[in-house]
């Protein structure tokens, strides 16, 4: 068992529950005051139990379900378009009784498994554009379905996963750089396909004061919250920006700003160090994996975590555009929590089976 990865993950989850409780307790009076943290805690326990059960099985069995998981993923994403619920201008959720799930969150982990199954036979064979196009098309279908919701943030996560996994699969660097160059050259054209709110987010990223009471409000309040925390923070349950509702989405997308305000620079560094441990263990597990499928899985999961952390933390500090990408294991949300805990479980499963092979 990889106890280093386990302890780092548990540390992040504990920190998450504390911060969610601090950020939301003042908004709901009476017995419902700690509704969000209680709900997150219950699903944390359920997901950890499910992850512990999964550890009894060899992760290699996932490879045999690649095609079925891919079809299930497409059906799930299509269902969002047909019967999904809209919120915040996007149709991303499906209600199952009292629970609302976000299929695009689960889709990320499913596509890591599916892409690993496809790439295993193509390792060292991605030398030309013709070799890469079938793999790109395979990833492109769910990418476009998520983009249609619209969910540009999750779509970009798909791209990070894709490039991380094809890089490890041995794609020619000349081909990879050519794709990046073509993407940069196409940006002026892609700009015209963005929706108005997406264009405004990019403009606000360049200058939040373009729309200080609209699209720029989130970034301005987030930077105020982080800066006001200074070195040691204002203390738990004492953050003015968060407690007085100046900071929107303080328990989801902008939870890192609450950490900065209430725990200060020291708290932010501690959280980022825990994430660094998770990423370091992910890279090591990928490096030491006993098979190609396990290595691709570990790289895909680590790429997903790295992109989420980079974009979410950068967004709260104003050095990345605002997106709906949650902070792994920290942001409130059942779908995101489930996806991240199962991703950690897969990493630990790869490490566990690798050690068994050694003996």
Contacts of residue 298, Cβ cutoff 8 Å, sequence gap at least 6: 282, 283, 285, 286, 289, 346, 347, 350
Minimum mean pLDDT range among 83-92, 153-162, 214-223, 279-288: 83-92
- Using alpha carbons, select from 118, 114, 147, 145 the residue that is nearest to residue 132: 118
Instruction: Share the mean pLDDT of the chain.
Output: 88
Domain span holding position 152: 3-358
Is pLDDT above 70 for 92?
no
Q: What is the pLDDT of residue 49?
A: 96
Q: Report the pLDDT averaged over residues 102-114.
A: 92
Contacts of residue 184, Cβ cutoff 8 Å, sequence gap at least 6: none
Q: What is the pLDDT of residue 357?
A: 46
Output the pTM of the full model. Answer: 0.92
How many distinct structural domains can be found in the chain?
1
Is pLDDT above 80 for 195?
no
CA neighbours within 13 Å on the CB side: how many for 265?
4
- Are 305 and 328 in contact by the 8 Å Cβ rule? The answer is yes
Q: Report the distance separating Cα 102 and Cα 333, nearest Å.
A: 9
Stronger pLDDT, 105 or 324, i.e. the higher one: 105
What digits encode the pLDDT tens for the residues 300-318?
999 999 999 999 999 999 8
Stronger pLDDT, 252 or 194, i.e. the higher one: 252
- Are 72 and 102 in contact by the 8 Å Cβ rule? The answer is no
Is pLDDT above 80 for 359?
no
Pairing of strands 99-101, 85-87: unpaired
């Amino acid at each position: 068992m990889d106890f280093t990865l386990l302890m780092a993950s548990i540390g992040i989850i504990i920190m998450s529950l504390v911060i969610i409780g601090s950020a939301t307790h003042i908004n709901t009076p009476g017995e419902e005051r700690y509704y969000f943290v209680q709900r997150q805690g219950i699903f944390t326990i359920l997901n950890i139990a499910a992850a512990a059960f999964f550890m009894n099985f060899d992760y290699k069995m996932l490879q045999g379900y690649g095609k079925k998981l891919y079809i299930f993923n497409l059906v799930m994403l299509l269902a969002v378009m047909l019967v999904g619920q809209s919120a915040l201008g996007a149709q991303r959720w499906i209600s199952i009784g009292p629970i609302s799930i976000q299929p695009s969150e689960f889709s990320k982990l499913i596509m890591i498994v599916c892409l690993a199954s496809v790439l295993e036979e193509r390792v060292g064979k991605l030398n030309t554009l013709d070799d890469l196009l079938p793999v790109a098309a395979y990833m492109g279908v769910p990418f476009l379905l998520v983009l249609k919701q619209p969910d540009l943030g999750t779509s970009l996560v798909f791209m990070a996963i894709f490039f991380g996994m094809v890089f490890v699969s041995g794609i020619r660097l000349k081909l990879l750089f050519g794709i990046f160059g073509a993407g940069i050259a196409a940006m002026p054209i892609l700009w015209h396909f963005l929706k108005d709110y997406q264009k405004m987010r990019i403009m606000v990223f360049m200058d939040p004061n373009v729309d200080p009471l609209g699209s720029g409000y989130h970034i301005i309040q987030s930077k105020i919250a982080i800066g006001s925390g200074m070195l040691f923070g204002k203390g738990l349950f004492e953050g003015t920006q968060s407690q007085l509702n100046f900071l929107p989405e303080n328990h989801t997308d902008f939870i890192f700003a609450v950490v900065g305000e209430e725990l200060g620079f020291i708290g932010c560094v501690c959280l980022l160090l825990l994430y660094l441990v998770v990423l370091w263990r992910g890279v090591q597990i990928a490096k030491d994996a006993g098979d190609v499928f396990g290595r691709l899985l570990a790289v895909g999961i680590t790429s997903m975590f790295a992109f989420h952390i980079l974009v979410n933390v950068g967004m709260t500090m104003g050095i990345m555009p605002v997106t709906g990408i949650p902070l792994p294991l920290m942001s409130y949300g059942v779908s995101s929590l489930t996806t991240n805990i199962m991703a950690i479980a897969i990493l630990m499963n790869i490490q566990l089976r690798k050690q068994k092979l050694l003996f």
